[in-house]
């Protein structure tokens, strides 16, 4: 057997025995032709499901948020996971299709990440339902989106974020950050920081997990050496939180309609609230700065009451340093 025939045979044997190895593709790198200034939405934990299931999710809140987000005319929407309540259930995804029709009518792009509920049940079925809605992802469970002066790194928190293929990919993306990127937004489901805990002092919440704590340590070690500013959008906890550590701003934005609960607030949480907080985040991007505003929904007597109880302006390291002088 010649050398070339042996290589061809070996490749065929590998494809037969290990098809996943050969078929594995690099994560998709999406591009948007938006220019600054622009705005986008970040929120999560919608749990689209049967409106009769009021324990899992509040369908009236879901619909109100979807409508308000469409009316905000964002360039795109980032959803931090738990889009569906039962990822394996085709009916849950049909509810998503029906309730978000206005987004497609207005041609608003959606950049999602997987949450634990999106992977519920048979994983192959769940992923099939998910990727059917988001074909641009090309079956990538983690991926990047370049938009004007920002880079979005969408992570899959069911996989390790700091080691293995996803960890290697993330480090490569941060190592090769283009000089014209002012902000890196990391979109993920499980939060690196949260005021809540598994003890569920006020009826709900989750503790931060070790993998995401490792990720935060890595990000905070990188931030002082970066020309861009990093911001993390996570969900999983059904409330709103804002934390800052090592120059990285962390948001918990899990108020998309899933069963909401108050949480016991950590001292370092910049948003000290004892209420439930259905909401979305409006992110306004300009050159060298972004403004992020929490838009809170309260339904009272069948009416929608909207407020903006938290807002923060974040600047690039260079601009922030100059402003501090």
- What does pLDDT average to in each consecutive run of 10 residues of the chain (325 residues)? 38 39 71 96 98 95 98 98 98 98 98 97 98 97 98 97 97 98 98 80 75 97 98 96 96 96 85 90 97 95 92 96 87
pLDDT number for residue 9? 36
Q: 248 φ, ψ to 5°? A: -105, 130
Predicted TM-score (pTM) of this structure: 0.90
Q: Is 81 left (phi over 0), alpha (psi -120 to 50) or beta?
A: left
pLDDT number for residue 13? 38
pLDDT number for residue 19? 38
Q: How far is CA 191 from CA 98, 234, 242, 250, in A?
A: 29, 5, 11, 8
pLDDT number for residue 270? 81
Secondary structure class of 297 (helix, strand, coil)? strand
pLDDT number for residue 11? 39
pLDDT number for residue 22? 34
Distance CA 189, CA 121 (A): 18
Picking from 74, 65, 67, the residue whose alpha carbon sits closest to that of residue 32 is: 74
Distance CA 311, CA 93 (A): 32
pLDDT number for residue 242? 94
């Amino acid at each position: 057997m010649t050398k070339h025939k042996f290589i061809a045979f070996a490749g065929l044997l590998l494809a037969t025995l290990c098809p996943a190895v050969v078929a594995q593709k690099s994560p998709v790198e999406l591009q948007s032709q938006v220019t600054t200034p622009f705005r986008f939405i970040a929120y999560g934990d919608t749990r689209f499901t049967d409106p009769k299931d009021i324990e899992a999710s509040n369908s009236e809140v879901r619909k109100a948020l979807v409508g308000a987000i469409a009316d905000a005319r964002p360039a795109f929407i980032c959803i931090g996971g738990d889009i569906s309540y039962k990822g394996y259930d085709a009916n849950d995804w049909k509810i998503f299709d029906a309730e978000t029709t206005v987004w497609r009518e207005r041609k608003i792009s959606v950049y999602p990440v997987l949450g634990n509920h999106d992977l519920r049940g048979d994983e192959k079925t769940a992923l099939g339902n998910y990727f059917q809605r988001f074909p641009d992802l090309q079956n990538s469970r983690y991926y990047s989106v370049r938009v004007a002066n920002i880079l979005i790194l969408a992570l899959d928190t069911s996989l390790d974020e700091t080691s293995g293929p996803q960890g290697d990919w993330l480090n490569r993306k941060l190592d090769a950050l283009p000089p014209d990127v002012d902000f890196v937004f990391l979109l993920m489901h499980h939060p690196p920081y949260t005021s809540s805990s598994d003890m569920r002092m006020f009826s709900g919440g989750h503790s931060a997990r070790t993998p995401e704590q490792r990720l935060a340590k890595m990000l905070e070690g990188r931030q002082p050496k970066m020309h861009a500013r990093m911001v993390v959008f996570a969900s999983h906890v059904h409330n709103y939180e804002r934390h800052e550590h090592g120059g990285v701003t962390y948001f918990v934005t899990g108020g998309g309609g899933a069963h909401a609960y108050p949480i016991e607030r950590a001292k370092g949480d910049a948003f000290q609230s004892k209420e439930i907080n259905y909401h979305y985040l409006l992110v306004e991007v300009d050159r060298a700065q972004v403004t992020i505003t929490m838009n809170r929904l309260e339904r009272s007597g069948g009416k929608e009451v909207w407020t903006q109880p938290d807002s923060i302006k974040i600047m690039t390291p260079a601009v922030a340093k100059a402003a501090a002088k």
